[in-house]
């Protein structure tokens, strides 16, 4: 890469898959963004405070890159604290593109390069009440009632 210099970096934004479902309820939705630098204790406390608030009906957890695992763990923690939550997941990819141009002295011999990286993005929607109608038939919908949860805890290892 010594014959190239970075010309431009472009982040192609990913579209929230739940955008069309949640656009009517912006006041009831709390977005929690999780990255690789997120401190779990702080984000768990924040999400739990928001879910205890009666005005908040839906928590949307968004994790990207290495924050995807933290997003899964946060969803599990919140579901253990609030057993009546309904969950719906969606995966997507965010594209980051770097454009490299050849340096001036080697310009005739080399072509421009475009390097694309796909960064995974996980969306976890947690609803206190019933899910919006459009999500009730979503294939990734998941709900574990409190009784089933207790049964899992009593199973011997």
* H or E segment to which residue 152 belongs: helix 146-154
**Which of 9-13, 63-67, 70-74, 139-143 has the lowest average pLDDT?**
139-143
Distance CA 93, CA 121 (A): 5
**Angstrom distance (rounded) from CA 80 to CA 90:** 20
CA distance 29 to 50: 10
Q: Which domains does the chain have, with CATH numbers?
A: 13-96+118-154 (3.30.110.20)
Torsional sign, CA 69, 31, 147, 90: negative
Q: Can you give the pLDDT at residue 138? A: 64
Note the pLDDT of residue 15.
85
pLDDT of residue 143: 54
Which residues partner with 127 through β-bridges? 58, 86
For residues 16 and 109, give the distance between their C-alpha atoms in angstroms, rounded to a whole number: 42
Mean pLDDT, range 76-82, rounded to an integer: 93
For 45, the token pair is 């406390």
Give which of 97, 101, 56 is closest to 78, Cα–Cα: 56
For residues 30 and 124, give the distance between their C-alpha atoms in angstroms, rounded to a whole number: 12
Q: What is the pLDDT of residue 107?
A: 59
Q: pLDDT tens digits, residue range 104-142?
A: 775 577 888 999 999 999 999 998 887 777 777 666 555
Return the structure tokens found at 43.
Answer: 């984000």
d(CA 119, CA 82): 30
Let me know if 96 is exposed, middle or buried by CB neighbors in 10 A (0-12, 13-18, 19+).
Answer: middle
pLDDT band at 148 (very low <50, low <70, confident <90, very high): very low
């Amino acid at each position: 890469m010594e014959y190239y210099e970075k010309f431009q970096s472009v982040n192609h934004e990913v579209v929230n898959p739940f955008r069309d479902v949640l656009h009517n309820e912006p006041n009831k939705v709390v977005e929690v963004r999780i990255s690789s630098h997120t401190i779990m204790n702080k984000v768990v406390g924040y999400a739990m405070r928001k879910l205890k608030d009666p005005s908040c009906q839906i928590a949307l957890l968004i994790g990207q890159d290495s924050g995807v695992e933290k997003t899964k763990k946060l969803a599990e923690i919140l579901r253990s604290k609030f057993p009546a939550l309904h969950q719906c997941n969606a995966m997507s990819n965010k594209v980051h593109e770097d454009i490299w141009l050849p340096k001036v002295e080697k310009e005739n011999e080399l072509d421009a390069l475009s390097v694309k990286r796909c960064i995974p993005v996980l969306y976890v929607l947690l609803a206190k009440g019933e899910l919006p109608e459009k999500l009730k038939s979503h294939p990734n919908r998941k709900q574990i009632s409190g009784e089933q949860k207790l049964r899992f805890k009593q199973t011997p290892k």
